[in-house]
Each structure stands twice: as structure tokens, then as C-alpha cells.
């Protein structure tokens, strides 16, 4: 099929496609998308329909090309465009962040270095929370290996021109998975249990992205999420940043954040908890973006 189904999204001025592409290219073992040249190809699931899209950029517009044979309703097209907007966080006005960064000794240089980088999202709730669970207490490279194993064992795929593209497993599939099959991926038993418990909570409607977004603030969301077995403050704040898009989310115990602050500030040791609380107050609704840009120094 030719790339005949195309849609376009205008991007904000504070958007640099190459910066975002460089971020996505940092991990060669990523399974959720493939990058060739200046094009990103990935599967998006809309209403249980797998859509293979290719994203490219030209003259202030993102071009979204649909590669597989699917027939979308107007409502499904709208959902697809919202997904892409969310993936790149296109609806957020970054001018206030850059204004803040200009006067901030920690953020000034990093904001300039990565100007136009958006906080790349994980719009799907189950994928985001699963990635948070997979990444607990292991190296980032091994976390990517575990994610690839999980996706290639339990996810659906689309083959296109000799390449295979994967969709993240659904909560229903993981909830019903045999424990032995999960353990075979070299996941710890505890992480297998966490993934299945979260999947079942989602399926039963006991937790949802919409319910968390209806809560008053990040503290309330964190408190609610950390009642779930296997979800600590780090995972909760990660999901708030990457999925819920709550700007004040701030994973203060994150090793990458602490190391980046140590480097930028020239500290002999990692920053203290009191200094992190001070930064949280100073950065406010830009804690998530500040964290993401500091992560970018290391990854």
C-alpha cells in the first residue's frame, strides 16, 4: 500500500523534530518504534484496531502516514491525532518553561542545549505503568531487554515490507498469562505478580487514567497510586510525567535525576532531600520537564 492516507499536525514554535528524534534514538533496543532516517514508524492501537503509522516532519508540520490497510472513522482519526499530539506533548506551551530556565542556574544550559525537546509521552496507561514496574531496581538497558521480551511474547504485531512492528500487550492478555510464561522472560516473580495485579485492576475498572486525572493534584494521585502493590513513589511520578502529563510530578528518588543534579551543580555527593524540596517549590508545574531535560544529559 502506498502512503496515501495522510494527516498533518502543525507543531508549536518551541518544537525541534531533530531533538525529539535524537531522544528516541538513544536506545537501540527500543521495541515500540523503529527509526529510519528522519521517519518514526510505530503501531498505535485505537478501539482495538492496530494502525501502523509513519511520522515525519516538514515545514512546521508533522506528517502522519498510515501504512496498513485500515479504514478509520472520523472519530478514530481524531483519536489517532490526539495520540500523536500526546506522544510529542504538542499542546503544551513551553514558553513559560524556557522563561523559567533562563533565570535558573540548573536549567539554563540544559534548556538551551535541548531547546525544542518535548517530554515524550507514553499515552497508554497500562504500557506506562508496566514500564514503570519493569524498570524498578535494575539497569535501564536490562529494563529495555525485559520490555522487548514481554512485547514480543505477548504483544500483537504488524508485518510491513519485511519489518515487524509491535503493539504493547493489552491488560487482558497479561492478566490471563500463565505465570510460567512470564517467568520465562526472566522477570522476577514479584514483578510478574505486580503486572498481573495492575492488569486486573484496570480490567475491573478499579483504576484508570481518567480516574487519576480527575483527582485534585499530584500528591493526591501519588497517594492513591501507591496503595497498589508494587507501585511506589518513583513509579507513580514516572506515570504522572509520561502518561498523565501532570507537570508537578517529580521523582525525587530517581537515580538519573540525582546524578544529573550532581553533575550540573558540581556537587561532591548527591543532592539532599531538603534541596530537592526547594527545587520542587521553585520549579512548580515544570518539575516534570526539568527532570526530563536533566535526564537527557545522561541518556
Residues contacting residue 16 through CB under 8 Å, at least 6 positions apart: 115, 116, 117
pLDDT level of residue 3 (50, 70, 90 thresholds)? very low
Q: In what order do the strands lie in the sheet with 49-58?
A: 5-10, 61-66, 49-58, 39-46, 33-36
Alpha helices in the chain (DSSP H): 17-25, 74-88, 95-102, 108-113, 125-134, 140-154, 171-175, 179-183, 189-203, 209-213, 218-225, 233-239, 255-265, 273-283, 287-298
Which residue, 149, 90, 136, is CA-closest to 117? 90
Mean pLDDT of 104-114: 97
- The arrangement of secondary structure in 5-90, i.e. its CATH architecture, is 2-Layer Sandwich (3.30)
Tell me whether strands 39-46 and 33-36 are parallel, antiparallel or unpaired. antiparallel
Mean pLDDT of 166-181: 98
Reply yes or no on whether 178 is catalytic. Answer: no
Q: How many CB atoms lie within 10 A of CB 14?
A: 15
Residues above pLDDT 70, as percent of the chain: 99
Predicted local distance difference test score (pLDDT) of residue 153 = 98
pLDDT digits (tens, 9 = 90+) for 244-293: 999 999 999 999 999 999 999 999 999 999 999 999 999 999 999 999 99
Q: Are 194 and 184 in contact (CB under 8 A)?
A: no
Q: pTM of the full predicted structure?
A: 0.94
Mean pLDDT value across the chain = 96
Could you tell me the three cell numbers for 109? Answer: 544550559
- Choice among 16, 86, 104, 254 that is catalytic: 254
3-class state of residue 46 by DSSP: strand
Domain boundary assignment for the chain:
5-90
As a whole number of angstroms, the distance between CA 149 and CA 155 comes to 10
Torsion-angle region of 102 (φ positive above 0: left; ψ -120 to 50: alpha; else: beta): alpha
Predicted local distance difference test score (pLDDT) of residue 160 = 96
H/E stretch holding 164 reads strand 163-166
Could you tell me the three cell numbers for 182? Answer: 512470564
Amino acid at each position: 500500500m502506498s502512503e496515501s492516507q495522510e494527516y498533518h499536525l502543525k507543531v508549536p514554535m518551541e518544537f525541534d523534530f531533530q531533538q525529539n528524534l535524537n531522544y528516541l534514538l538513544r536506545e537501540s533496543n527500543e521495541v515500540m518504534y523503529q527509526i529510519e532516517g528522519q521517519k518514526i514508524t510505530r503501531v498505535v492501537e485505537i478501539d482495538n484496531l492496530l494502525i501502523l503509522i509513519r511520522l515525519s516532519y516538514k515545514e512546521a508540520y508533522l506528517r502522519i502516514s498510515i501504512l496498513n490497510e485500515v479504514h478509520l472513522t472520523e472519530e478514530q482519526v481524531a483519536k489517532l491525532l490526539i495520540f500523536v499530539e500526546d506522544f510529542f506533548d504538542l499542546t503544551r506551551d513551553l514558553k513559560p518553561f524556557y522563561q523559567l530556565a533562563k533565570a535558573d542556574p540548573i536549567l539554563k544550559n540544559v534548556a538551551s542545549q535541548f531547546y525544542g525537546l518535548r517530554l515524550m509521552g507514553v499515552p497508554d496507561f497500562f504500557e506506562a505503568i508496566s514500564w514503570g514496574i519493569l524498570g524498578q531496581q535494575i539497569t535501564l538497558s536490562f529494563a529495555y531487554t525485559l520490555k522487548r521480551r514481554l512485547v514480543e511474547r505477548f504483544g500483537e504485531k504488524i508485518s510491513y515490507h519485511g519489518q515487524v512492528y509491535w503493539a504493547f500487550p493489552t491488560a487482558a492478555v497479561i492478566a490471563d498469562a500463565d505465570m510460567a510464561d512470564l517467568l520465562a522472560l526472566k522477570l522476577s516473580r514479584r514483578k510478574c505478580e505486580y503486572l498481573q495485579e495492575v492488569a486486573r485492576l484496570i480490567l475491573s475498572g478499579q483504576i484508570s487514567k481518567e480516574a487519576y486525572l480527575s483527582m485534585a493534584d499530584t500528591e493526591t494521585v501519588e497517594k492513591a497510586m501507591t496503595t497498589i502493590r508494587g507501585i511506589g513513589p518513583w513509579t507513580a511520578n514516572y506515570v504522572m510525567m509520561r502518561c498523565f502529563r501532570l507537570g508537578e510530578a517529580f521523582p525525587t528518588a530517581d537515580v538519573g535525576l540525582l546524578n544529573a543534579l550532581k553533575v550540573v551543580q558540581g556537587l561532591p555527593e548527591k543532592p539532599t532531600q531538603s534541596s530537592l524540596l526547594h527545587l520542587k517549590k521553585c520549579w512548580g508545574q515544570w518539575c516534570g520537564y526539568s527532570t526530563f531535560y536533566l535526564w537527557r544529559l545522561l541518556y
